Structure 1
């Protein structure tokens, strides 16, 4: 399978922050921003592999600045690394006050997306190669992030096994 440059998966999405999107502080709901992040990461990963994808994990969503009602939010995403059937996608969100023109990076995130076939089984993806200095910097850290993801997933499975589906904090008869 041929490799593709990171830039081929670049996806940019803009949204106007309206009152139904905000909390009692007049700022964008964190969950709404997370939904935007997941959506733009999915589009970028499908652009890369040209197959359906599922979200395997979100490494982190770091909220760096509030997004006010009336602002716009611009999300940029691209595939930074691949591994067999998975893709790491970097997402950056920028808020802009349309009246003043002030722009701030309001969030960053890494997501892992997995390509799937018609039976919803993992499917191979093309490799990716960085070209710009920023892409190279992200690409160089991808293996470290992948190993961290793998360890975190192991811990999550242990938690799920230990706590199961019951409510362990309730008193038992």
Structure 2
């Protein structure tokens, strides 16, 4: 399996935002943009892998600016990282006002894809050739994001496993919630002043 460059599978998708794409606020619906991002991630991942890819996780979706009806939306996507059967596709989304030619950066995201073989099981992907400092930085950034995410998931799992009703109830103080369910007598005894 020959290694492939970032440019080999880099893909740009551009689409005109039409009125039927608008949400109730008159802006382009975020779900539509996510769908387009998933499409371009699939195209990039499958082209690099040379086989069918599926989306496993989506990280870092933050809508920085609204997209207006009538603008051209461009999704620029490239492989940032490869593992054994997984790869991370970075996507930068911009929109352009076709009357004024003003371009605005609307969001970034990272889609983790897994390559599937004919048997439907994960299959190995080609190595990634890094041809400049930007590509190397993106590869390293992806490694760091994966590490931080694993650590955060492990920490959150530990917190969930160690849930202590009395201690964790304090987290609800000054929050916008109201507990309205019946708790057992043992729990009430913990909070009584007797």
1:111 aligns with 2:111: yes
Note the 1:28-43 alignment, pairs <5 A. 28-43=28-43
Residues 55 and 26 of structure 1, relative CA distance in 2, 3 Å threshold: same
Partner of 1:48: 48
1:130 aligns with 2:125: no
Partner of 2:15: 15
- Residue 129 of structure 1 and its aligned partner are, at CA, apart by 2.2
Residues 119 and 159 of structure 1, relative CA distance in 2, 3 Å threshold: farther
Matched pairs, number = 167
Note the 1:19-168 alignment, pairs <5 A. 19-151=19-151
Aligned CA RMSD, in angstroms, stands at 2.4
Greater CA drift, 98-107 or 23-32: 23-32
SS of the equivalent of 2:62 reads: strand
- Residue 76 of structure 1 and its aligned partner are, at CA, apart by 0.7
Give structure 1 stretches of 5+ with no counterpart. 162-168
Q: Give me the whole-angstrom Cα distance separating, in 1, the residues matched to 2:11 and 2:79.
A: 10
Partner of 2:170: none
- Residue 119 of structure 1 and its aligned partner are, at CA, apart by 2.2
Give structure 2 stretches of 5+ with no counterpart. 162-178, 183-194
Q: Give me the whole-angstrom Cα distance separating, in 2, the residues matched to 1:42 and 1:157.
A: 30
Partner of 2:187: none
Bigger radius of gyration among the two: 2
Which digits, 9 at most, give the CA deviation of each residue in 1:114-141, with x for residues without a partner? 0011221110001112223322221121
SS of the equivalent of 2:23 reads: coil
- Residue 158 of structure 1 and its aligned partner are, at CA, apart by 8.3
SS of the equivalent of 1:119 reads: coil
- Residue 35 of structure 1 and its aligned partner are, at CA, apart by 0.7
Q: Give me the whole-angstrom Cα distance separating, in 2, the residues matched to 1:159 and 1:15.
A: 43
Which digits, 9 at most, give the CA deviation of each residue in 1:72-108, with x for residues without a partner? 1000101111010000110001100000000011110
**Contact 1:55/1:114 (8 A) holds in 2:** yes
- Residue 3 of structure 1 and its aligned partner are, at CA, apart by 1.7
With a CA cutoff of 8 Å and minimum separation of 6, indicate the structure with the bigger relative contact order. Answer: 1
TM-score, structure 1 normalization: 0.85
